[in-house]
Amino acid sequence: MPAFDLREFLLLAPEILLAIGGLALLLAGSVGRGVPGRVAASLSLFFLVATALLVLTVEEVGPEPRLILGSSFVLDGFARFFKLVILAGTALTVLISVRFVDDGAYRAGEYHALLLLATTGMMFMVGGFNLVSIWIALELMALSSYILAGYFKRETRSNEAALKYFVLGALSSAILLYGASLLYGATGELRLDLLAAALPEAMVTGRLLVPTGWLMLSVGLLFKVAAVPFHVWTPDVYVGAPTPVTAYLAAASKTASFAILVRIFVQGLPTLLPDWQIVIAAVASVTMIWGNLAALTQTNVKRMLAYSSIAHAGYVLLGLLAASVIGLWSVAFYLLAYTFITLGAFAMVVVLERREYAGEEVSDYAGLARRAPWLAAAMLVFLLALTGIPPTGGFVGKVYLFAAAVEAGWTWVAVIGVLTSAISLYYYFSIAVQMYLKESTRDTPEPLGSPALTAAIATCVVATLVLGLFPGPFIEFAQAAGLPLP
């Protein structure tokens, strides 16, 4: 009987606070006519900030990772870094949701409660050190996001997004779980470090269990990060879901999924490193190529950003492929930068979007530079960052990812990355051309801002530029998120 120390719960205070916040909003939102949208948004912002402060103060991180609660969770620099990135992403999502949630005539309390609970799930995910705890946290995130995707339940498009997300998400988690059960059978361990230690022997005794198990586990994880060929759900879900939810899925959900992908591969399956490197190399190349090629033909900005998000998953995989110190921290740094860039880009979609899906086409950006010069300039920054052009965080992140891949001897994958980045210039700049060189017509939607949206866009622009101009401290921050390499 392992002894549990009640004081270990104190170390989980951030997650507990966030869960309490989610439940409180759920209860408050169910009484009578519910809480007004702005109140709910302020409450959830308050809980997110308080949680971030708790992460910074309570979770002291020593040089050695600390296992808590029967080694279900781990406190290390990696978990701390990703928790903060996810909290930042969620806070920005709350800001860009305000007008959307008010417009929709649905209960705001429920929306924010689901957002906070999904974020709780993500925080447990990145801190999970056991296949059981990781899986349950993953499901907490996934179940909340299925409902969020279908939040506009009286609109066909949103409902269809929820449906597709649910069916394919459930499929992927079943596959992931099946793989986990096979690995458990082969090694008898669920804890990542013990699993890693037992793997070499298990590969000899349980011949078919280990390869099938880890392959299925990877399929499940690659589904979650939307890598080709497991990306089929992404475009439809991203287009159909309410835009703030899409932004949340593209930023926070993707970051959390990448975090567990990296943790499971590096800490749980180091023995299979040469095997999974081949798989990751193949998946990363196809993802970069297909994501960028498919984005070329899109005229709907949301769908284009969906394919761009797929392509970016390919770039991030380069860092994992390198499986080196620089590779891992460049993954962390890139996900930090990508969170701000992608949330900013989706915030711009929210600015132009109207009910009945107007304002989502590339041509709706025509003449934006004349009508709203600051917004156009902000969008230009995000487009530069998505392409990977200095002076933005996207450029710095990409350089380190490619450098890591080249250093580890995967030059050909890095070359694909550079070439496809060049392709991406074409479709990102079709938006810039509309904004700066085309004239607006009478049908072009007027940008409709709000203080919260402006704050979100300004934060994203500043963060993107600071990450590009003064990356030093952030790189150190990301370096603290390293995992011990095999």
CB of 215 to another protein, least distance (A): 7
Nearer residue to another protein within complex by CB, 80 or 224: 224
Burial tier of 458 (Cβ tally within 10 Å: 0-12, 13-18, 19+)? middle
Do residues 9 and 66 make contact, with C-beta atoms less than 8 angstroms apart? Answer: no
CB of 248 to another protein, least distance (A): 17
CB of 32 to another protein, least distance (A): 8
CB of 476 to another protein, least distance (A): 31
User: Hey, CA dihedral for 315, 321, 324, 328, is it positive or negative?
Assistant: positive
Token pair for 459: 């934060």
CB of 184 to another protein, least distance (A): 6
Nearer residue to another protein within complex by CB, 216 or 385: 216
Quote the radius of gyration of the chain (alpha carbons, Å).
Answer: 21
Cα(473)–Cα(470) distance, integer angstroms: 7
Cβ neighbours for 451, distance < 8 A, ≥ 6 positions apart: none
User: At 101, which helix (H) or strand (E)?
Assistant: helix 77-103
User: At 303, which helix (H) or strand (E)?
Assistant: helix 301-322
Among candidates 248, 211, 227, which has minimal Cα distance to 321? 227
Nearer residue to another protein within complex by CB, 106 or 338: 106
CB of 434 to another protein, least distance (A): 22
CB of 237 to another protein, least distance (A): 9
Do residues 94 and 116 make contact, with C-beta atoms less than 8 angstroms apart? Answer: no
Token pair for 195: 């699993």
| End-to-end CA, the chain | 31
The residues that touch another protein, with contacts defined as CB under 8 A, are 1, 4, 6, 23, 26-27, 30-31, 131-132, 135-136, 139, 143, 146-147, 150, 153-154, 156-157, 159-164, 166-167, 170-171, 174, 177-178, 181-182, 184-185, 188, 190, 207-208, 211-212, 215, 232, 235-236, 239-240, 274-275, 278, 409-412, 415
Nearer residue to another protein within complex by CB, 199 or 332: 199
